[in-house]
Amino acid sequence: MKYVAMGHGAGGSLTDEIIGIARSAFASAYLNAGLDSAILPSEGERIAFTTDSFVVKPLFFPGGDIGKLAVCGTVNDLAVVGARPRFISCALILEEGLPFDELERILGSMGSAAAEAGVEVVTGDTKVVEKGRGDGIYINTSGIGFAPEGLDLSGADIEEGDALIVSGSLGDHAMTILGLREGLGFESALASDCAPLGGLVRALLDSGARVRFLRDLTRGGLAASLNELSELRGVSLEVDEEALPVKEQVRALSEILGIDVPSMANEGKIVAVVREGDADRALAAMHAHEYGRDAALVGRVVGCDAAPEPGHARVRIKTLSGALRILARPSGEKLPRIC
Amino acid sequence: MTTLPAHEAFRRKDLIGPLADSIAREAEGLGPVRIMHVCGTHERSVNRFGLRALLPPNVRIVAGPGCPVCVCPLPELLAARALALKAGTVLASFGDMLSVPMPGGSLLDARRSGAELRVVYSAADALAIARAEKKREIVFFSVGFETTTAPTAALLTALAREAAISVKSAVPNFSVLSSNRLVPEALRALLGSGMLEADGPNGPSIDGRNGPSIDGLILPGHVSAIIGSEAFRFLADDFGIPSVVAGFEPVDLLASIRELLAQKRRGIHELRNLYSRAVLPEGNLKAKALMAEVYENRDAEWRGLGILPGTGLALRSAFAAYDASAKFRKTLSESVAGQEAAIQDEAAGCLCSRVILGSAEPGDCPHFGSVCVPENPLGPCMVSEEGTCRIRLEYGEAT
Amino acid sequence: MCVATPMRLVSLSGNEGIVEEGGVSRKVSLALLDSAVIGDYLLIHAGFAIAVVDEEEAMLSLEAIEACADDDAAGA
C-alpha cells in the first residue's frame, strides 16, 4: 500500500509521481505542456472567473467524492452567471499518509467530472502537509468561463410576479453526508446530487424563457440563496413548502433530525427567477434534461420594494396552515464540512 | 382502503380548517386566554405549521420553560467546561450545548484553549467513544428532560450489569455529568412559588404578583410517554388548571387547544390525555423503573429561575463509578470557585429568564434578532434548537 | 430534545431492532420497551424506542376529534 509522503510535495521526482497521475486523469494538452502557467485562448466576449475550496468530510460518499465536488462546484459557479465553463485549475493540499489509491480515485473522479462538464483541467499544484495537519486532502479549484455581452443573470430586472423555480429535489447532498457522520447511524439509499450543471443552464437559457437570476444552491440551501437575493435586490419572496421537491428519505431525515429542508445543502441544484409567463417553458426545458427532471415552481417574487417596513420578513414560506412564516437564513454550523 | 399511519393522519390538512373553526367558536366571548406549553418541540411545531395564525386574537399560545439547554445553570456549564479543558478528558455533549454563553466563553470558545469536545446525538454515542478511546476519560454531559433521561438510565443499567458479569466489559473511562431535569416537579415548584400563576377556581390572580397567568397547559407528549399522564394530575387537582397531554402534529395541537378552551368555557379544570396513542396513564413502566434504579431526585438550579426543589436528578451511589460529579469532585469544585460574581451578574440585558416563563415574548427583547442572533447569542434561548428566541427568529410568523 | 419520530419496526433481535421510515433505517435499542411486534410504529428518541404507537387508539382519537368538529360545525 502506497501512501503520500512529505517528499511528494517537495517539487522533485516524487511530486512528478503525482503530476503523472493528474496528467493521465485529466488528459489536457495544456497540463501536459508542463509550463508554469497555461496560456489559454479567449473564447468569448467576457471572462468569468471563480474559485472554490473543498474540505468535505468524508472524502467519499454515495454519489461522489471530494474530487467530483471540486470540479462540479466550480463549473456550476461559472454556469449560473451565464458563462460557458472551459478551464479549471486544481490545487491539492495532501496530508502525509493519504493512501495513494484514494488519491488516484479522487483525481479520476475529477477527470470524469471534467469530461462530462466539457472542461479541461489545465494547471495545478501539489503540496503536502504533515500528518495531523489536514484531513486527507483539501482541494481548491478555480475556473474560467466565457460569457457573451448582454447576458445578465444577477437579478437586476426582477419584477413582482416572477416565478421561483428549483431544478430538482432539495437536501440530497446534505442528508447523504449527514447520514455518514459518526453517531447518527441512519442508513438509506440516498446519494449526493453532485453534478455539473452547465448543460442544464444552457438548456434553460436556450428555451427562450426570460431568466432574471440564477444561483447554485450549495451551503445553506434554498433559504440562504433566497435571503441573499432578497438582500441584494431588495425583493420580497414567498415559497410554498408543499411545492418543494423532496425525496422521501430526505423528508424522513428532516423529521427525524429536525432539520428544515430549505436550509439543506445541495451540490447539483440551481434556483432560477424567471419571468412569470415563462415559467412553464422554463420547466419544460429543465424536465427534458437529465439533471432537471424534478424541477418545480416553488414560489414567487411578491414585492420589489427596496425599503420595506422594519421588522418585515422578506423571505417567507407558506406553512401547512396556510399562514406565512419566516424563511430565515440558516445560522451557524449545523453541518460543518459539507463541501 | 389504506389507512394512514397515525403520524400522517394527525397531519391531515382537511382537519385543520374544521378544528380552527371549532377553536374560534369555543373562544368566543372568553376574553383573553393564555395557554402555555412547556416543550421546545411543541414550540417548533407551533411555528413550523403556522398554528398561531389560526387562532382567534384573544387566544395566545405562550412558550414556557421547555428547553433543557436553556435552563442549564451556569455552575453546571462551568463544570462541563472545566472537564473539557482537563487534560486527558473529553466532553461528549449534544451540539446545542456547545454555543451556550457563559462567563469566559462557551464550550466551543474553550476549544481554542484546548478543550476536547465531541458532539454526540445520544448517550450511546458517548459510550461508544469511551470504548474506542480507552486512554481518555469520556464524560457525557447529560442534558434533557425525562425523554432523554430514560435512554441514559437504560444505558447505565446495562453497563453496570455487564460490568458485574465481567470486569472486561466495564468501561471505567466513561462517566455521566448529570444535568437532567424533571418537568412535573418544575411546574409544581413554579406554580407553588407564584412564578407561574393559574387562573384558579377562585378567579383571576391578584394584581402586583410576578407571574403571568395561565388559563391552560399543553403538556409535553414525549415526556408523558415516559412518565405517564397521571404524573400531571396535580395540575388540575392542586392548582385548578385545565391541562392536556398533546402530541406534536398539527391536529394534536389544535385539538388540545380546543379542549382547553372548552374547559375554560365550562369553568372546569381537568387533566386530559389527547396523545393516548403514545401515552398511557402510568407511562412506560419499564423506563420509569430503570430511571428509579439509576437516579434520585435532588434540588436543581434552573438558569434564570433559581433553585427549584426536587427538579434535578443525581446518580445513585451504586452508580458512582459512572458519576462524573464523584469522579472529578476536585475539578468541579474548582470550576465555580471565584465565579460567583460573574454568575450573579450574568444575563445583563438578556430577557431569557422572562421569556422562559412566558412573561416576555422574544420580540419584547431589544436585542432580539439584532445583537442577539444564533451566531452571537446573548442568552441560551437563542442558542438551542428548542430555545424560544431561536425558534421564533428562524421559524416565527412573518409579520 | 424531545424530538421523537415514529418509525416502523422491520426486524428485531433481542433488545435491538431495526426501524424504517421513508426509506431511512436505523438500528435502535428496545431496552425501554416491554414488547414490540414487527410492523409496530415505535417512537424513536436518541437511538431508543420510548413507546409503541397504538394505531388503533390513534384511529379512535382521530374519530373523536372529527366527531367533535362535526358536532361543532352542525351546532353553529
Interface contact B313, partner A, CB < 8 A? no
A179-222 pLDDT, tens per residue? 777 557 889 999 999 999 999 999 999 999 999 999 999 999 99
> Which chains have 3 or more CB–CB distances shorter than 8 Å to chain A?
B, C
Distance (Å, whole) CA B218 – CA C65? 17
Q: Which residues of B touch C68 (CB under 8 A)?
A: 22, 255, 258
Q: Which CATH code is given to the segment(s) C5-73?
A: 2.30.30.140
Q: Give the pLDDT confidence score for residue A84 in this predicted structure.
A: 96
Strand, coil or helix: A63: coil
A·B CB contacts under 8 A: 75
Nearest-angstrom CA–CA distance, B377 and B354: 16
> Would you kindly state where each structural domain of chain C is located, as residue ranges?
5-73
Q: What is the pLDDT of residues B271-315, one digit of tens each?
A: 999 999 999 999 999 999 999 999 999 999 998 889 999 999 999
Q: Put the strands of the sheet holding A236-240 in their side by side order.
A: A211-216, A270-274, A163-166, A296-303, A236-240, A315-318, A324-326
**Nearest 5°: CA angle at B285, between B281 and B290?**
145
Over residues A301-316, the mean pLDDT reads: 78
CB–CB of B39 and C2 under 8 A? Answer: yes
Q: Please tell me if residue B156 touches chain A, with a CB cutoff of 8 Å.
A: no
Element (H, E) at B331: helix B329-336
Residue contact B154–C43, C-beta within 8 A: no
Q: What integer pLDDT is reported at residue B229 of this predicted model?
A: 98
Please tell me if residue B108 touches chain A, with a CB cutoff of 8 Å.
no
For chain B, say whether C72 makes contact (Cβ under 8 Å): yes
pLDDT for B389 beyond 60: yes
pLDDT mean across residues, chain A: 93
- C27/A256 Cβ within 8 A: no
pLDDT for A335 equals 56
The residue of chain C with its CA nearest to that of A255 is: C5
Please name the residues between 258 and 317 in chain A that touch chain C, using a CB distance below 8 Å: 258
The predicted structure's pLDDT at residue B383: 86
On whether any CB of chain C is under 8 Å from the CB of B315, the answer is no
Q: Residue B208 pLDDT more than 70?
A: no
**CB–CB contact C1 B18 (8 Å):** no
Q: Is B52 on the interface with A (CB under 8 A)?
A: yes
Predicted local distance difference test score (pLDDT) of residue A306: 64
Mean pLDDT, rounded, for A87-114: 97
Nearest to A313 among B49, B375, B399 (CB): B399
- A248–C22 CB contact, under 8 Å: yes
Question: What phi and psi, each to the nearest 5 degrees, are found at residue A264?
Answer: -80, 140
ipTM, interface predicted TM-score of the complex: 0.94
Chain C CB within 8 Å of residue A191 CB: no
The per-residue DSSP string of B144-165 comes to ESHHHHHHHHHHHHHHHHHHHH
What angle is formed at CA B139 by the lines to CA B68 and CA B285, rounded to 5 degrees?
Answer: 55
B137 vs A334 pLDDT, higher one = B137
Question: Chain A residues with CB inside 8 Å of B385's CB?
Answer: 258
Band of residue C17 on the pLDDT scale cut at 50, 70, 90: very high
Q: Which amino acid would we find at residue B7?
A: H
Chains that touch B (3 or more CB pairs under 8 A): A, C
pLDDT at B205 > cutoff 60: no
The kind and range of the H/E element at A120 are strand A120-129
Contacts of A318 in chain B (CB under 8 A): 50
Report pTM.
Answer: 0.91
Alpha-carbon distance of B57 to B76, in angstroms, equals: 40
